[in-house]
Chains A and B, each alone.
Chain A
Amino acid sequence: MSLQTQELNSIIPDLRELSLERLAELGDSALAHEIALYRQRLKETDVPLSAFQARI
């Protein structure tokens, strides 16, 4: 079964090629959208941030 014909875009910014120096220089707004989305996702899926989820 073909699940998908196109690649799926994620909410995770690709930061692999960004040096830590450059990462530190990014302003608050550069990743604000992605970080807010990630926080929202964690809340929506009811995953606690500070404790690991119990087995399924």
Chain B
Amino acid sequence: MIVTHSLPADAFTALGGGAGDSVVVRRLHEAQLSKHLMLLHVVAAAAAGIDPPSRAVAAFRAGYRLLARIQAADPAAVATLLGLPHIGSWAHECLACLDNGTSPDFGYLATAAAAVAIGLGVPFEVEVPASAGRVSLPGLGCLEVASQDEWVRLSSDGQRLRVGGHVDLECAALVPDDGTGEAVPYWRGTPLVRVVADGQAWEVLLETGDKYLDRYPLPMRTAMTASDVRCWRRLIQAAWELLLRHHAWAAGPIAEGVRVIVPFESHAGLESAASQAAFGAIATSLPPSAVSLAETLIHEFQHVKLYGLMDMVPLVEPGGERGYAPWRQDPRPMGGILQGVYAFTGIVRFWDTQRQVETEPDEVLQASVLYERWRLAIELATDTLLKGGFLTPTGARFVTALRERGQRGEPVSAAAAEIARDVALDNWLTWQLRHTAVDAAGVAGLAAAYQRGEPRGSEPLPDAWIKDDVRDIDAVIPRSRVLDLRFQEPRRYRQLSDADVAGLSAADVRLVRGDADAAVAAYRAVLHVAPDPAAWIGLALAVHRFPAETTRPVFAARLPLLFEMHACLAEQGIHADPLDLVAWFE
């Protein structure tokens, strides 16, 4: 009888606290290995049903037999191979193909089998698929086959590998490139990074050739020069030292669980990703610093862990509801919001430590703002998840624990708290105006009552609902970019140049220069002429600079309604003062 994987109570508790040690991560990985085997069973059943076998199916069967033969002598080696994220991604793709009625890439399994056979010095002979003159061996490297044939025969006596009819190579030389070996003709070993600090090591592959790990939102960087690889090695070493010395809770589990880093092609900003299909892999563009890479590793590994957990235990109820994710400018499904909460639980813990570790005032400020900004995000997003009934009972317990974990740090400085609240508010106001529709009849009724000078009364407010891009507003308004300099580049913000504020309205310039009184007056003047969404957001931000201002909650909670009422009145030739309108709702 086949039993299912289980997760001990203490492992679930540890994950719910946002962490989980190496033992917990190993348990998640063991379940992933079984998942890969389950999907392999699906692919094998599909291959068995194809008669006569195609070339690809024949290759699959040969690869499967080879793996079974190796497994009989060395089960751990096959488990290591089948646990790779390459295999997980390939198996998911096969499942998708079978569900779509298209043929899976059966032949890939033969390359995986060849990779492990070469590594162990096991004699074999299989035909494998080639692409653009190359055969990619998962987890090992890439053979250059000197032909454009779609299929290549690999044969080995355990010592030498014969590639087609042309190339003969020593098997022992066909290893990942750890930076210490000589170049081998016809062979490009996958870059392997070995880092050590405080006596603790981590080995991770920089995958630059496997097509099943080139499926993230940004393309894989496939053409890495030796200099590029050296740069990655240095950065990973520095990030590893930082993690071990200051974030030990994350370092061990990352070393246990992250087997592959997929470098993205160069990109203007830092982008990173993880996938449910590829447990053990994270993808990222080259971060600008060790601190940034350490944060990225923690961030993406949080996703990896949660994907592993959610494969085992449902945490989110089925349903298509979407909501506000405080780190995004588009409505997100509840599963995505939970992923974000989990990622930011790790990030908050990272910045909570960094704000103690940093010594330069600007870096302390940056760390403090990032800590507070994402702590507030967790608070808001967990509210959304818990109050909406979107979670399973297990999921609700999990998120409650995450929420508590996110509240444990010491308060930040007043300056950092103000910036964090301001940035969070800016994102929230912009999102609301972009994606909140309001019932037009209800708006017209309220506008008429306001125009007649009646009190607001106790009637329910008009219905409002989430709708994509209901108003045309940029995801990041230029003003927000300048305001973000307060913590991203504090020195530059203190010395704002004319070039920095070029393109901003006069009201925006007053706001970013810290003159809130003048900014309020200028935004009111803009809104007297026309109902401009960006000016409404600017006015709300300016009003929030006055702690005693009683209309702040109205701005924060009712901005789409305020905008629509203001626009409705303007259409009738009535140019209501925005502050009067806001006061009407108090």
Partner of B327, one of A12, A19, A56: A56
Chain A count of residues within 8 A CB distance of the other chain: 45
* B6 CB-CB contact with A under 8 Å: yes
Known: A11-B312, A16-B79. A34 touches B38 (CB 8 A): yes
A19: nearest chain-B partner, CB-CB? B71
Q: Is the CB of A11 within 8 A of B4?
A: yes
Bitwise, A1-14 to B at CB < 8 A (1) or not (0) is 11111111111111
Which one of B6, B34, B314, B340 lies within 8 Å of A7 (CB-CB)? B6
Taking a contact as CB atoms under 8 Å apart, the answer to whether B318 and A44 are in contact is yes
Question: Does chain A have a CB within 8 A of B502?
Answer: no
Q: How far is the CA of A42 from the CA of B384 in the complex (A)?
A: 22
Which residue of A is nearest B328, CB measured? A56
Contacts of A34 in B (CB 8 A): 4, 38
Q: A52-B216, A55-B271, A56-B303 are in contact. Are A14 and B314 (CB under 8 A)?
A: no
B312 and A8 form a contact (CB under 8 A): yes
Is B223 part of the binding interface, using a Cβ–Cβ cutoff of 8 Å? no
Stretch of B235-243, B272-280, B457-465 with 4 or more beta carbons under 8 angstroms from chain A: B272-280
Q: Which of B6, B79, B328, B332 has the most CB of A within 10 A?
A: B6
B31 and A10 form a contact (CB under 8 A): yes
Q: Known contacts A11-B4, A20-B71: does B336 contact A56 (CB below 8 Å)?
A: yes
Q: Is B398 an interface residue (CB 8 A)?
A: yes
**Which of these, B30, B78, B96, B313, contacts A8 with CB under 8 Å?**
B313
**Is the beta-carbon distance between B96 and A50 smaller than 8 angstroms?**
yes
Q: Which residues of B contact A31 (CB under 8 A)?
A: 2, 38, 41
Residues of B within 8 A of A38 (CB): 35, 38, 311
Are A20 and B96 closer than 8 Å at their CB atoms?
Answer: no
Q: Is B64 an interface residue (CB 8 A)?
A: yes
Closest to A55 in B: B273
Pick from B8-16, B351-359, B426-434, B559-567 the stretch touching chain A.
B8-16
- Say if the beta carbon of B198 comes within 8 Å of chain A: no
Contact call A9/B6, Cβ cutoff below 8 A: yes
What B residues does A2 contact at CB under 8 A? 9, 13
Cβ-neighbour of B314 out of A3, A28, A41 (below 8 A): A41
B311 & A12 in contact (Cβ 8 Å cutoff): yes
In the complex, which residue of chain A has the Cβ closest to the Cβ of B216? Answer: A52
Contact A56 B343 (CB under 8 A): yes
Complex CA gap A14/B79 in Å reads: 13
Nearest A-chain residue to B40, judged by Cβ: A23
How far is A22 from B259 in the complex, measured between Cα atoms in Å?
A: 28
Q: How far is the CA of A6 from the CA of B75 in the complex (A)?
A: 31
In the complex, are the beta carbons of B217 and A3 less than 8 A apart? Answer: no
Residues of the B chain whose Cβ atoms lie less than 8 Å from the Cβ of A39: 95, 99
User: In the assembled complex, which residues on chain B have CB atoms less than 8 Å from the CB atom of A4?
Assistant: 9, 12-13, 394, 397
Enumerate chain B residues within 8 angstroms of A26, measured Cβ to Cβ.
41
List A contacts of B277 (CB < 8 A): 49, 52
Q: Which residue of A lies closest to B13 (CB)?
A: A3
Given contacts A3-B401, A5-B9, contact A55 B217 (CB under 8 A): yes
Q: Assess A14 versus B2: contact at CB under 8 Å? Given A1-B404, A3-B16.
A: yes
Q: Could you tell me the distance between the alpha carbons of A45 and B318 in the complex, rounded to whole angstroms? A: 7
**What distance in Å separates the Cβ of A38 from its nearest Cβ neighbour in chain B?**
7
A34 and B5 alpha carbons, distance in the complex (Å): 12
Residue of A nearest to B339 (CB): A56
Docked Cα-Cα span, A39 to B4, in Å, equals 16
Report B-chain residues with C-beta under 8 Å of the C-beta of A23: 37, 40-41, 44
- Contact present for A14 and B71 (CB under 8 Å): no
Evaluate contact between A10 and B312: CB separation under 8 angstroms. yes
Minimum CB–CB distance from A49 to chain B (whole Å) comes to: 4
C-alpha spacing A5/B314, complex, angstroms: 17
CB within 8 Å for A7 and B404 given contacts A49-B92, A49-B99, A56-B336: no
Asked if B59 is an interface residue, CB under 8 A from chain A, the answer is no
Is the C-beta of B7 less than 8 angstroms from some C-beta in chain A?
Answer: yes
Per-residue 0/1 for B301-321: is the Cβ within 8 Å of any A Cβ (1 yes, 0 no)?
001000000111110101010
User: When the two chains form their complex, are residues B93 and A35 in contact, meaning their CB atoms are under 8 A apart?
Assistant: no
B50 interfacial by beta-carbon distance below 8 Å: no
Q: How distant is A26 from chain B, measured CB to nearest CB, in Å?
A: 7
A35 touches B310 (CB 8 A): no
Most buried by B among A20, A35, A39: A20
List the B side residues contacting A8 at CB < 8 Å. 6-7, 9, 12, 312-313, 394
Q: A33 to chain B: closest CB distance in Å? A: 10
Additional A-B contacts beyond A12-B4, A31-B41, A38-B38 (19; CB < 8 A): A1-B13, A1-B401, A8-B312, A9-B4, A10-B5, A11-B4, A14-B5, A14-B34, A15-B33, A16-B33, A20-B64, A24-B64, A28-B45, A39-B99, A50-B92, A52-B277, A52-B278, A53-B276, A56-B332
Residues of A whose CB lies within 8 Å of any CB of B are 1-16, 18-21, 23-24, 26, 28, 30-31, 34-35, 38-39, 41-42, 44-56
The 5 closest A-B pairs by CB, nearest first: A10-B312, A49-B96, A50-B96, A52-B275, A44-B318
What are 28 A-to-B residue pairs whose CB atoms are below 8 Å? Answer: A3-B398, A7-B12, A8-B6, A8-B394, A12-B311, A13-B2, A13-B3, A13-B4, A18-B2, A20-B64, A23-B41, A38-B35, A38-B311, A39-B99, A42-B276, A49-B93, A50-B92, A50-B93, A52-B277, A53-B275, A53-B276, A53-B336, A54-B273, A55-B217, A55-B271, A55-B273, A56-B328, A56-B339
